[in-house]
Structure 1
Amino acid sequence: MDLKEIQNLIKFVAKSGASEVKLEMEDVKITIKTGETKGEMTTVVQQIPMAGIPQPTAAPLPVAQPVAPATNDAPAASDDDSKYVTIKSPIIGTFYRKPSPDKPTFVEVGDSISEGSVLCVIEAMKLFNEIESEISGKIVKVLVDDSSPVEFDQPLFLVDPS
């Protein structure tokens, strides 16, 4: 498989909407993963040398990186948020504001919390982990939607410690 065929395959996968495609042939293994953000794509090409047959090597393909749009009001928002403490996710998983669908949310904007208060749960590998506050204060903002995936160290809440 030559470089032109690999590039055509990448374009086809990007247009198809598939999130991941794996292709294994006798001499090549290819994995193409597309992200949720348009333009974000990861491609892994692995050549498997055949015994006694020299294989051409392809140059690594560039990975397109999404560009964050520039906003003018970002510095003003940062100044306002600097007096607040950010509570971040300690794990990767799915963020839930309620202990179960029929129960009320753990905390709302404006609620006072104390150290050790349960703020939310994050599901990781079928385990529901309670996330407790490490500070006392007042919830100013919830930064994540209910039932959304979260990454490690992703901001979840803004708390006013005063």
Structure 2
Amino acid sequence: MLKIQEIRELIRLIDQANIEEFLYEHEGTKVHMKKPAGTPVETVVQTVVEAPKAVVKEAAAPVQEATQMPTAPVQEAKQAEPPKQEVKADNLHKITSPMVGTFYAAPSPDAAPYVKVGDKVKTDTIVCIIEAMKLFNEIEAEVNGEIVEILVQNGQLVEYGQPLFLVKPE
């Protein structure tokens, strides 16, 4: 099975090349990428399983997330844009992800989020959890201030150094 980094690298290479369609099959995994001339790559990753097949299809930006979700016969994953506010980036502190993993805004699915826009935080305030390899890492605010914007959605895959929150320092 291909790792997410390998899929991302394939997407980058196909996006930069003059190739319009790419198909790769290996050990039950099928990667099919298409891009009409002048548009971003559309990727379909399919894994053959004993039960239903899992397909994740996304077409957003030139570099995309492509993950395998063996939960339904055909599953479409679309990431909705978080509501954008007019926020000036001047003097705002970015809380960034210290690792690659999955962002969780709350300690459990039925619990309230750690922070919301407008909440006051201190340097030791836990703002979220990043799950990496079944380890849940609590992320602290690193600064005293007010949460101005949450840049990622609950359950979203985040990269090392990716901004998660914008904080107006006190």
Identity of aligned residues (%): 44
Letter in 2 for 1:109: V
In the alignment, structure 1 residue 121 sits paired with structure 2 residue 152? no
CA shift, 1:91, in A, is: 0.4
| Distance change in 2, residues 1:130/1:112 (3 Å) | same
Q: Which blocks of at least 5 consecutive residues in structure 2 are unaligned? A: 1-19, 44-60, 64-84
Go from structure 1 to structure 2 and tell me whether the alpha carbon gap of 1:132 and 1:101 turns closer, same or farther (over 3 Å shift): same
2:167 match: secondary structure: strand
**Which has more helix, going by share of residues?**
1
Deviation at 1:133, TM superposition (A): 1.4
List alignment gaps of at least 5 residues for structure 1.
1-9, 14-19, 24-30, 42-64, 68-76
User: 1:119 offset after TM fit, Å?
Assistant: 0.3
Q: Quick one: which of 85, 89, 104 aligns to 1:81? A: 89
Which structure has the larger Rg over C-alpha atoms?
A: 1
Decide whether the 8 Å contact of 2:22 with 2:32 is kept in 1: no
Distance 1:126 1:34, change over 3 A: farther
What is aligned with 1:101?
Answer: 109
Deviations 1:127-149 (A, max 9, x none): 11100111110000000011100
Change in CA separation of 1:101 and 1:34 when aligned onto 2, cut-off 3 Å = same
Indicate the SS of the match to 1:104.
coil
Q: How does 1:7-156 map to 2 (within 5 A)?
A: 11=21, 13=23, 21-22=25-26, 38-39=40-41, 66=62, 80-156=88-164
> Partner letter of residue 133 of structure 1?
A
Q: CA deviation at 1:87?
A: 0.6
In 1, the alpha carbon distance for the partners of 2:165 and 2:136 equals 18
The two structures have a TM-score, normalised by structure 2, of 0.54
> TM-score if structure 1 supplies the norm length?
0.57
**2-structure distance, mates of 1:138, 1:33:** 44
Between Structure 1 and Structure 2, how many residues are aligned?
108
* 3-state SS of 1:81 partner: coil
